[in-house]
Amino acid sequence: MADAVLAAARRDIASFHALPLSHGRSIRDSRIRESYESLFGAAQLAADVSYSGTMLDSFFRPRGPLREAQRLAARGFGADATYFLSTGTSTANRVALTALTRPGGRVLADRSCHQSVHFALGGLGVEVVYAPMQRCCADCPRTFGDLPRLLETFREAVAEGRPYDTVVLSAVSYDGVRYDLPTVLAELAAAHPGVRVLVDEAWGAVHRFHPRLRPLTALHAVERLRRTASAPPLTVAVTHSAHKSMSALRQGSYLHLAGEGEARERVAQALFQHHTTSPSWPVLASLDLARLQAETEGEQLLERSLHLAQTLRTELGTDPRLSAYRTLGAEGHLTDPALLVSDDPTRVLVDIGALGITAAEFRRVLFDEYALYVARESGDAVLFHLHIGVDEATLLRLLDALRTIQRTCRTTSAALTPGASDHFIIAYPPGIPIAVPGERVCDRTLGEIDALRSDGCEIYTLHQPGVSTAAVPVPSGPPVSAAVPGVSALPAVPAVPAGRK
């Protein structure tokens, strides 16, 4: 697929159909050309084409390079059939559910599923029952499906003569929780062999390609079931957001199917019903390349990810310069096999509450001051995903940033403690000190800091040991809120928001 798209891009093909931007033709003499090429490059503009049928391939009835790419992907992932999508896994989930369910059928759904599953089920004319969720523990904010209760509910429905036709599982969560799919699928098949299952593994597409991660994946679990003496006629659809863990372009998604005959035909029909008729050929080509890389380099890259994730945990647990951070999850919260869940070892959930700033402020500082991005926050915790795009140098950047933020925030917190101060505390604008070394910081001072930051000011502190001024007490005022923002301006240290607990 990738070779076919590249070959088309290298030809100087003039289109009388659509996509005037292809090859940059519509912007050749435009003032926006430089911006376009700076953002996307000439190669991307040339590869974004609008050819179909025999000119490149038919998306809905592929016979050429797309068909071969999908065949190779099915072989690599262990599926009976694989479909490429260029509109994301939300579409893949809708396609899968349309194919698996029947009007009037019964669906048992994991409550923790992505919104796309909930929205799709609402329009399919099925009876939906949600299995409950559970929280990891009081110390960890993660939630996930209560799988023992889900299986109990499923078995009870079978015993009552009203089995669920379809089960939906969210098996690799955003927060790094993985389901024991070999056990869950075996239990479902034993109770009702004809059950159809959708497994949303959006965050775990690459797990297939490492021996430590592979055993819990859905398609590997199906392979194990098929090797048993009485292999059940189980139909399983698996959706993967390739761009979340593999080297694929955004919106690139795989839909894998373990099932024959009618199941394949229904998936093809549902794909035609829900996918755009203008697929992105660069996205589809990236799915082909991502599969090739995963097959040839995936184990090595994932081994690096696992090592770096463990390095991050070790550094946070042993370096006194990182003592304000506490890892959650991977240190033993999900070790009870009865829960049928375990941790994704490529993710590190970190409590940053001891810094005295909120998780949202912490994420903003990482992004603005250090060009480091984390997406997930939950309470006082943030989630670091050590995916295959994170290398040793990137982890060192993160660790350096964490040390600097800890040093800065703790200095700021000390400056904003009631009592005699040895800091300048300055609001900018206007740049006039709220307090100077030797003055007392009291509730009224802290209330003024609260009010200034609410008005958009940044608060800076500067430690000046040895500076002596007359200590002029400021009369006490009313109590202030628990979170006092501030920014510490230590020499050669970027300013970061700070708070007081």
475 C-beta neighbours (distance < 10 Å), count? 7
The reported pLDDT for the residue numbered 385 is 95
Question: What is the rounded CA–CA span in Å between residue 184 and residue 188?
Answer: 6
Question: What is the rounded CA–CA span in Å between residue 80 and residue 222?
Answer: 11
Mean pLDDT value of segment 183-190: 95
* Nearest alpha-carbon partner for 119 in 93, 87, 146, 150: 93
The reported pLDDT for the residue numbered 183 is 96
Q: pLDDT per residue over 168-181, tens digit each?
A: 999 998 888 999 99
**Which token pair is 88?**
């994301």
Length in residues, the chain: 501
Q: pLDDT per residue over 316-354, tens digit each?
A: 999 999 999 998 865 556 778 888 998 899 999 999 988
> Does residue 393 register a pLDDT over 90?
yes
* Nearest alpha-carbon partner for 173 in 141, 129, 212, 149: 141
The reported pLDDT for the residue numbered 440 is 83
Q: pLDDT per residue over 199-222, tens digit each?
A: 999 999 999 999 999 999 999 999
Q: How far is CA 256 from CA 82, 159, 299, 335, in A?
A: 4, 31, 21, 30
**Which token pair is 356?**
């005295």
DSSP codes, 273-305: HHS-SS--HHHHHHHHHHHHHHHHHHHHHHHHH
Q: pLDDT per residue over 414-470, tens digit each?
A: 666 777 777 788 887 778 888 888 888 888 888 888 788 777 677 777 766 655 544
Sign of dihedral through CA atoms 16, 19, 21, 27? positive
Question: What is the rounded CA–CA span in Å between residue 297 and residue 303?
Answer: 10
Mean pLDDT value of segment 269-279: 94
Mean pLDDT value of segment 157-163: 95
The reported pLDDT for the residue numbered 56 is 85
Question: What is the rounded CA–CA span in Å between residue 230 and residue 224?
Answer: 12
* Nearest alpha-carbon partner for 354 in 314, 330, 383, 381: 381
Coil, strand or helix: which one is 165?
Answer: coil
Strands 166-170, 196-200: pairing kind: parallel
Ranges 63-77, 78-92, 457-471: which has the least confidence: 457-471
Question: What is the rounded CA–CA span in Å between residue 219 and residue 355?
Answer: 42
The reported pLDDT for the residue numbered 240 is 97
Coil, strand or helix: which one is 85?
Answer: strand
Q: pLDDT per residue over 12-52, tens digit each?
A: 777 777 777 778 888 888 998 889 888 888 888 788 877 77
Question: What is the rounded CA–CA span in Å between residue 414 and residue 471?
Answer: 18
> Does residue 493 register a pLDDT over 60?
no
For helices 181-191 and 218-226, angle between their N-to-C axes, nearest 10 degrees = 50
Q: Where are the beta strands (DSSP E) in 367-479?
A: 376-378, 381-385, 419-420, 423-428, 432-435, 440-441, 458-463
Are residues 461 and 446 in contact, defined by beta-carbon separation less than 8 angstroms? Answer: no
- Name residues whose C-beta falls within 8 Å of residue 144's C-beta, 6 or more positions apart in sequence: 112, 133, 134, 136, 173, 175, 177, 179, 341
Q: How far is CA 135 from CA 138, 154, 177, 336, in A?
A: 8, 21, 11, 14
More confident: 392 or 1 = 392
> Does residue 188 register a pLDDT over 70?
yes
What is the separation, in whole angstroms, between the first and last Cα of the chain?
Answer: 56
Mean pLDDT value of segment 306-314: 96
Q: Where are the beta strands (DSSP E) in 437-481?
A: 440-441, 458-463
Maximal C-alpha separation, the chain:
88
The reported pLDDT for the residue numbered 488 is 42
How is domain 417-483 classified at the architecture level of CATH? Alpha-Beta Complex (3.90)
More confident: 424 or 154 = 154
Backbone phi, psi, residue 94, to 5°: -65, -45
Ranges of each domain in the chain: 298-412, 417-483
CB burial of residue 221 (10 Å; 0-12, 13-18, 19+)? buried
Are residues 329 and 136 in contact, defined by beta-carbon separation less than 8 angstroms? Answer: yes
> Does residue 391 register a pLDDT over 60?
yes
Mean pLDDT value of segment 389-415: 87
Average pLDDT, the chain: 85
The reported pLDDT for the residue numbered 23 is 80
The CATH fold of domain 298-412: Aspartate Aminotransferase, domain 1 (3.90.1150)
Q: pLDDT per residue over 344-361, tens digit each?
A: 999 999 999 888 888 889
Question: What is the rounded CA–CA span in Å between residue 306 and residue 176?
Answer: 13
Mean pLDDT value of segment 65-74: 96
Q: pLDDT per residue over 102-134, tens digit each?
A: 999 999 999 989 999 999 999 999 999 999 888
Helices (H) and strands (E) in the chain, counts: 14, 22
The reported pLDDT for the residue numbered 489 is 38
CA 363-175-126 angle, 5° bins: 125
Distance of CA 181 to the CA centre of its chain: 20
